[in-house]
Amino acid sequence: MTDQVYKTDALIAQDIDAYLERHQHKSLLRLITCGSVDDGKSTLIGRLLYDSKMIFEDQLAQLEADSKKVGTQGQEIDFALLVDGLAAEREQGITIDVAYRFFATEKRKFIVADTPGHEQYTRNMVTGASTAELAVILIDARKGVLTQTRRHSYLCHLLGIKCIVLAVNKMDLVDYDQAKFDAIVAEYTEFANSIGITDFTAIPISGFKGDNIAGHSDATSWYSGPTLMAHLEGVDLDQNTSAAQEFRMPVQWVNRPNLDFRGFSGKIAAGTIKPGDAVRILPSGKTSHVDRIVTYDGDLDSATAGQSITLTLKDEVDCSRGQVITTASAPLEVADQFETTLIWMDEEALIPGRSYYLKIGAQTVSATVAEPKYQINVNTMEHAAAKTLELNAIGVANITTDRDIPFAPYAENRTLGGFILIDKMTNATVGAGLINFALRRAQNIHWQATDITRDHHANLKNQKPAVLWMTGLSGSGKSTIANAVEKKLARMNRHTFLLDGDNVRHGLNKDLGFTDADRIENIRRVGEVAKLMADAGLIVITAFISPFRSERQMVRDMMAPGEFVEVFVDTPLSVAEERDVKGLYAKARSGQLKNFTGIDSPYEAPETPEIHIDTTAMSIDEAAEQIFKQLLGE
Amino acid sequence: MKDVQTHLSRLEAEAIEIMREVVSEAENPVMLYSVGKDSAVMLHLAKKAFYPSPPPFPLMHVDTTWKFQEMYKLRDKAAKDAGMELIVHQNPEAKEKGINPFDHGALHTDMWKTEGLKQALDKHGFDAAFGGARRDEEKSRAKERVFSFRTAQHRWEPKAQRPELWSLYNARKAKGESMRVFPLSNWTELDIWQYIHLEGIEIVPLYFAAPRPTVERDGLILMVDDDRFPLEPGEEPVMRSIRFRTLGCYPLTGAAQSEAATLTDVIQEMLLTTTSERQGRAIDKDQGASMEVKKQQGYF
């Protein structure tokens, strides 16, 4: 097997300097291979590694031994074993992931994202596709265009891959029949056009036999196009398009070695920059000119998309991590509401209304996702109504961020339009998103400044506004204690208002039920009302189960620092259930009442509440007294 | 690097981006420095990433006391040249018990390296540690993330890895948890060598062939680097022209017989060679215990 002769070997042996000179000018192509084991994906990757001489002799010896022992190709080499890892690993659930493989030829270095193709691994495929410039979509020549072919093509197109290769594999098993190949290409063309793929390259191959991989196959004399390897080496890369756009660079880090130097470090997302160019910083809108492009290898005359650089500006302007430096005359759009396409990646489904972290470029903000407009069936491309997105689901939903962010639609620029969503409690990456466009209403509603401020209101009442947020299980005593606290405050001439869970659901929130999403919207509205009342100078007392930490945090974040006082009315479930003042626990246990906190819906206790009330150890009055004292700082 | 479209310039820009991201998001980062060629490249990239500032984190060497003498020499020089603080950690327990590669086998690596690393990270409260590992080194590394999350007990949970899309790295973590970050994830051995060549990066002379005192054990050629090497009765070190493809503890690192005395010779030999890089490391061979298991326990 080692008798294959590589033309590079001669050069390496004779003139290593010439070889190095040539190879340091190699370009890089990142690609993804789509298909399942049945399509011969692992065999193909193994073959590419082998044909580009990335397999060493010790690995080859191992491979030959393994092929005889466990291979599926009789006495011949089973290339799939090179990349498949071990079956045991697969069973451990470790291998089903994205693996990256590397090989290089005379002209290019390749990074292959190797991901499983089944529908339950959509998130892995999306991850692999996010960095790929080219996709190899494998088809089994015996089977033709399948559901999974459509899914893989759709996902690659969605993630913005412009170069698509349709590798019609296992041609050896259909006797290299041109008619079969042509029929598959015709069928695929029709589908590809329907989802917006305008161009692709179809190649008849056999990963197992090596036909049209590195060398032209005699068996397909009817095929005059490039071999797979030649196509991968020669395909025109997209890099220059992003270089031709206007200049955009998210600031990753402010470089301040001393008082005389202030540089803005980042990787250029689009365009080209030169010293003297006028730039605008977003979202602040401030302008300046580029002074120097600083690198370790000396100042540059110009820098372009893909380079990591440090810029200094001629003026002392504010610019911090997360802001984007752009061409002054053609800045990015800035908005806080977007239509997005979301890919959900977590076991816990999307909760509309919940506050997640959104990371885009070098910026992390808070964001809430509205109920999806629809979910996309990745097999049929049909749209279906959806209340949420489960693991591996793809849907379209509006997103609101807590501040303006500079962006570009994903279709224009991956860096400026792609984002991830992070769960605030678990810190897990739960979703990935593509910005489609900004919603206009964000731009047309402005905050109207008023002359009488919240401080005026508070001063008139001669008190410090606060939001006393009681949280605890149903029947823990929140309402009773809240009522007692309000009476005490009223006796001291404090201006108060009590927002009670049941009462609010009679009016403001009568349209909401008890699903997770409705509970979150319930709390959001109460939070907004409490905020208005605090702005009016009142001490607001609320009594809501408010079972989720994220939403209590969301309300806390709405208020001025120190204004939100979390009161944990701590009653064990068994005690609350025994009290069962309203008979609700009995109903929930018998199944008449769904989504009841503590029974079939979780309660997330506060970790560090400002006030902790143990209702099993004190009376209502003692509890009210403790809260009253702590609130007034006594 | 001036030529912006080459594979090396793209890998360089990516590594710099990763390092800047860590410095921005972590509270107390550190760069693990093993003195090998990958560490040398990583350190060089750190200088580039933050220039004109020095890299805003210390270098840390988790020492086993069994490294080659030439490695200790270059380590101290490299830290000084970069203007960085150098932290050297030696597991006091391993030191006290006299753990060594000759008598203790796998325990040596476990105590000095795995335990030593955890101790050092805990001692200094580092919440992000750069490592020079590459995905092409070994099968289980191929699916490792660039930002690899560790529990408060330093365990790697392969099933709980975060999806990594585009160049968006989620560096958020709870108190006590930490990240291992691998800026060279997408580099191959050849990339490393080409970059060293192109950038003129100083590496330990052991990578170049020279006559050195050696003995042969279990098919590996080992270098007798100091007088702690226990020779068999009547055994005499033999001078051989050797070099190393990877560097670790000298009693665990097999040498290759070679005449490649310059960098280009080494690259030439590497390109024409027929065995994979990690073959020279005894660690991968012990009882089939995979890197995956070692990593779960906290090995880098």
Q: What is the band of A517 on the pLDDT scale with cuts at 50, 70, 90?
A: confident
Contact A16 B142 (CB under 8 A): no
pLDDT surpasses 50 at A488:
yes
Question: pLDDT value at position A70?
Answer: 63
Cα dist from B237 to A619, B180, B214, B240, whole Å:
85, 40, 5, 9
Interface test with B, best of A253, A416, A608 (most B CBs within 10 A): A253
B38 alpha-carbon distance from chain centroid:
6
Question: pLDDT value at position B214?
Answer: 95
Question: pLDDT value at position A91?
Answer: 47
- Segment A574-590 shows an average pLDDT of 88
Question: pLDDT value at position A93?
Answer: 43
Contact A58 B279 (CB under 8 A): yes
Q: Give the closest of B48, B136, B172 to A296, CB-based.
A: B48
Q: What is the ipTM of this complex?
A: 0.90
A261-270, A533-542, B151-160, B211-220: least confidently modelled range: B151-160
**Rounded CA gap, A605 and A603, in Å?**
6
SS3 A230: helix
Phi, psi of B108 (to 5 degrees): -60, -50
Å between A259 CA and nearest CA of chain B: 12
Question: pLDDT value at position B54?
Answer: 95
Find the closest chain A residue to B156 by CA distance: A94
Decide if B83 touches A, using CB distance below 8 A. no
Cβ contacts of A463 within 8 Å, gap of 6 or more: A494, A495, A537, A539
Question: pLDDT value at position A453?
Answer: 87
Find the closest chain B residue to A237 by CA distance: B5
Decide if B285 touches A, using CB distance below 8 A. no
Instruction: Say which residue, B5 or B153, is predicted with more confidence.
Output: B153
Q: Minimal CA–CA distance to B114: which of B140, B93, B135? A: B93
Q: What is the band of A422 on the pLDDT scale with cuts at 50, 70, 90?
A: very high
pLDDT surpasses 90 at B238:
yes
**A164 has which bridge partners?**
A135
Find the closest chain B residue to A417 by CA distance: B166
Q: What is the band of A301 on the pLDDT scale with cuts at 50, 70, 90?
A: very high
Decide if B263 touches A, using CB distance below 8 A. no
Q: What is the pLDDT of residues A345-398, one digit of tens each?
A: 999 999 999 999 999 999 999 999 999 999 999 888 899 999 999 999 999 999
pLDDT surpasses 80 at A483:
yes
Find the closest chain B residue to A81 by CA distance: B139
Interface test with A, best of B24, B151, B168, B262 (most A CBs within 10 A): B168
Decide if B270 touches A, using CB distance below 8 A. no
- Segment B167-173 shows an average pLDDT of 94
Interchain CB contacts (distance < 8 Å): A and B: 182
**Rounded CA gap, A458 and A537, in Å?**
4
Identify all chain B residues contacting A20, using CB atoms and an 8 Å cutoff. Answer: 194, 197, 264, 267
A194-208, A333-347, A593-607, B8-22: least confidently modelled range: A593-607
Q: Minimal CA–CA distance to A267: which of A226, A310, A326? A: A310
Contact B165 A420 (CB under 8 A): yes
Question: pLDDT value at position A118?
Answer: 77
Decide if A13 touches B, using CB distance below 8 A. yes
Q: How far apart are the first and last CA of chain A?
A: 86
**Encoded tokens for A121:** 């691994």
* Secondary structure E strands in A564-620: 564-570, 611-614
Question: pLDDT value at position B12?
Answer: 97
Q: Minimal CA–CA distance to A566: which of A608, A522, A504? A: A608
Q: What is the pLDDT of residues A55-111, one digit of tens each?
A: 666 666 777 777 776 666 666 677 766 665 544 444 444 445 788 888 888 789 999
Question: pLDDT value at position A21?
Answer: 80
Question: pLDDT value at position A590?
Answer: 87
Find the closest chain A residue to B271 by CA distance: A12
Question: pLDDT value at position B285?
Answer: 40
Sort strands A163-169 and A134-140 into parallel, antiparallel or unpaired: parallel
Q: What is the mean pLDDT of chain A?
A: 87
**Rounded CA gap, A627 and A463, in Å?**
17
pTM for the whole structure: 0.81
CA A187, A110, B141: angle at the middle one, nearest 5? Answer: 110
Cα dist from A624 to A541, A544, B153, whole Å:
12, 17, 42
Q: What is the pLDDT of residues B38-80, one digit of tens each?
A: 999 999 999 999 999 999 999 999 999 999 999 999 999 999 9
Catalytic residue among A546, A574, A590, A619: A546
Instruction: Say which residue, B136 or A472, is predicted with more confidence.
Output: A472
Chain position carrying tokens 């001692």: B123
**B241 has which bridge partners?**
B211
Decide if A595 touches B, using CB distance below 8 A. no
CB B30 within 8 A of CB B56: no
Question: pLDDT value at position A346?
Answer: 93
Sort strands A27-34 and A134-140 into parallel, antiparallel or unpaired: parallel
pLDDT surpasses 60 at B216:
yes
**For residue B52, cis peptide bond before it (omega within 30 degrees of 0):** yes
The secondary element (H helix, E strand) that includes residue A104 is strand A99-104
SS3 A153: helix
CB A105 within 8 A of CB A1: no
Q: Give the closest of A93, A252, A432 to B165, CB-based.
A: A432
Question: pLDDT value at position B105?
Answer: 82
Q: What is the pLDDT of residues A586-600, one digit of tens each?
A: 888 888 888 888 888
Q: Give the closest of A25, A124, A267 to B3, CB-based.
A: A25
- Segment B14-43 shows an average pLDDT of 96
Contact A429 B194 (CB under 8 A): no
pLDDT surpasses 80 at A417:
yes
CB A34 within 8 A of CB A125: yes
What DSSP state is assigned to residue A219? G
- Segment A392-414 shows an average pLDDT of 94
Q: Up-side HSE of residue A7: CA atoms within 13 Å toward CB?
A: 3
Decide if A109 touches B, using CB distance below 8 A. yes
Decide if B2 touches A, using CB distance below 8 A. yes
Question: pLDDT value at position A48?
Answer: 86
Identify all chain B residues contacting A104, using CB atoms and an 8 Å cutoff. Answer: 7, 188, 190
Contact A13 B272 (CB under 8 A): yes
Q: What is the pLDDT of residues A109-168, one digit of tens each?
A: 999 998 877 777 888 889 999 999 999 999 999 999 988 899 899 999 999 999 999 999
Identify all chain B residues contacting A102, using CB atoms and an 8 Å cutoff. Answer: 135-136, 186, 188
**Rounded CA gap, A114 and A129, in Å?**
10
Identify all chain A residues contacting B17, using CB atoms and an 8 Å cutoff. Answer: 252, 267, 308
Pairs from B196-203 (Cβ < 8 Å, separation ≥ 24): B196/B37, B196/B40, B196/B41, B196/B263, B197/A20, B197/A24, B197/B263, B197/B264, B197/B267, B198/A24, B198/B1, B198/B8, B199/B44, B201/B40, B201/B41, B201/B44, B202/B40, B202/B74, B202/B78, B203/B37, B203/B40, B203/B74
Decide if B50 touches A, using CB distance below 8 A. yes
What DSSP state is assigned to residue A520? H
* Secondary structure E strands in A535-631: 539-543, 564-570, 611-614
Catalytic-residue membership of A546? yes
The secondary element (H helix, E strand) that includes residue A604 is none
Å between A547 CA and nearest CA of chain B: 21
Question: pLDDT value at position A143?
Answer: 92
Q: Give the closest of B6, B10, B167 to A24, CB-based.
A: B6
| A positions 15-34 inside 8 Å of B (CB) | 16-17, 19-20, 23-28
Percentage of chain B beyond pLDDT 90 is 62
Question: pLDDT value at position A71?
Answer: 62
**Encoded tokens for B297:** 């326990």
A36-40, A211-215, A309-313: least confidently modelled range: A36-40
Decide if A302 touches B, using CB distance below 8 A. no
pLDDT surpasses 50 at A561:
yes
Contact A429 B170 (CB under 8 A): yes
The full DSSP string for chain B is ---TTSHHHHHHHHHHHHHHHHHHH-SSEEEE--SSHHHHHHHHHHHHHHTTSPPSS-EEEEE-S-B-HHHHHHHHHHHHHHT--EEEEE-HHHHHHT--HHHHTHHHIIIIIIIHHHHHHHHHT-SEEE----TTSSGGGGG--SEEEE-TT--B-GGGPPP-BTTB------TT-EEEE-TTTT--HHHHHHHHHHHT----GGGS-EEEEEEEETTEEEE--STTS-PPTT---EEEEEE-SS-SBGGGB-BEE----SHHHHHHHHHH--S-GGGGBGGGTGGG--HHHHHHHT--
Residue type, A152: H
Q: What is the mean pLDDT of chain B?
A: 87
Å between B50 CA and nearest CA of chain A: 7
Question: pLDDT value at position B290?
Answer: 47
Question: pLDDT value at position A397?
Answer: 96
Contact B197 A20 (CB under 8 A): yes
Q: What is the band of A418 on the pLDDT scale with cuts at 50, 70, 90?
A: very high
Contact B53 A131 (CB under 8 A): no
Q: Minimal CA–CA distance to B67: which of B230, B250, B194, B246? A: B250
**Rounded CA gap, B103 and A177, in Å?**
64
Contact B190 A104 (CB under 8 A): yes
Count of residues in chain B: 300
A6-15, A314-323, A532-541: least confidently modelled range: A6-15
The full DSSP string for A37-70 is GGGTHHHHHHHHHHHTT---HHHHHHHHHHHHHH
